[in-house]
Amino acid sequence: MNNFEKIVSRNNGWVYLEDLVDYKKLGKGSDGSIFQLTPEKCIKIFEKEETCRTELLAYQAGKTSSVIPTLYEYGRNYIVIEYINGPSLRHYLKKENQLSESTAQKLLIMLDEFKRIGFTRLDTQIRHIFVNEVREIKVIDHKRAFNRKTNIPVRLLKDLNKIGYLDEFLKYVKIFRPSLYKEWKDLTD
């Protein structure tokens, strides 16, 4: 982490991709690249400052939520957040070969948390949901948390359908949230 602090101070709060060649690259998305800094922390470098600001606002709003990774620090084009040591929900379900009651409840809690912390987009893709080593759900990539309004988790439902777990999920929704079940079921028919 000392090397990273030197990079930030040398670059007046900016981080460039070439500064991170000695760190493990975790991935690249449409908005930036992610590198692991330590066993507990990773950094996301954004291509645009505006995208960094919008995602930063979501992490700041979610600082009290168990489903939002911890925000450690940020700069003009980067955020340093908790590294999630575990698979995406897609890979987790593939390994488990089922969507358990516990996982379904955690997904419903995740959506409740989005609402509680003030997100207007109450949805996410399963590739942004991770299950850590103690089977907690953590969600990344929140750049649209406040600039889109979605009350129904359409993307989540579509993704679960694509991998064959929508019926199982809706079975649990019917038990735990019957009021949501009919609305969501009508969308998927």
Instruction: Assign 3-class secondary structure to the chain.
Output: CHHHHHHHHHCCCCCCHHHHCCCEEEEECCCEEEEECCCCEEEEEECCHHHHHHHHHHHHHCCCCCCCCCEEEECCCEEEEECCCCCEHHHHHHHHCCCCHHHHHHHHHHHHHHHHCCCCECCCCHHHEEECCCCCEEECCCCCCCCCCECCCHHHHHHHHHCCCHHHHHHHHHHHCHHHHHHHHHHHC
Q: Which residue has the tokens 């019926």?
A: 167
Mean pLDDT of 88-107: 96
Round the average pLDDT of the chain to a whole number and report it: 93
Distance, in Å, from the CA atom of 93 to the CA atom of 112, rounded to the nearest integer, reads 21
Render pLDDT for 123-155 as a digit per residue (tens, 0 to 9). Answer: 999 999 999 999 999 999 999 999 889 999 999
CATH topology of domain 2-82: Phosphorylase Kinase; domain 1 (3.30.200)
Distance, in Å, from the CA atom of 57 to the CA atom of 138, rounded to the nearest integer, reads 17
Q: What is the pTM of this model?
A: 0.93
pLDDT band with cut points at 50, 70 and 90 for residue 89: very high
Share of the chain above pLDDT 90, in %: 81
pLDDT at 11: 80
**CA atoms within a 13 Å half-sphere pointing along the CA-CB vector of 80:** 17
pLDDT at 4: 80
Residue spans of the domains in the chain: they are 2-82, 89-188
Mean pLDDT of 155-167: 96
Q: Is the per-residue pLDDT at 188 higher than 70?
A: no
Render pLDDT for 16-71 as a digit per residue (tens, 0 to 9). Answer: 889 999 999 999 988 999 999 999 999 999 999 999 999 999 999 999 999 999 99
Render pLDDT for 60-79 as a digit per residue (tens, 0 to 9). Answer: 999 999 999 999 999 999 99
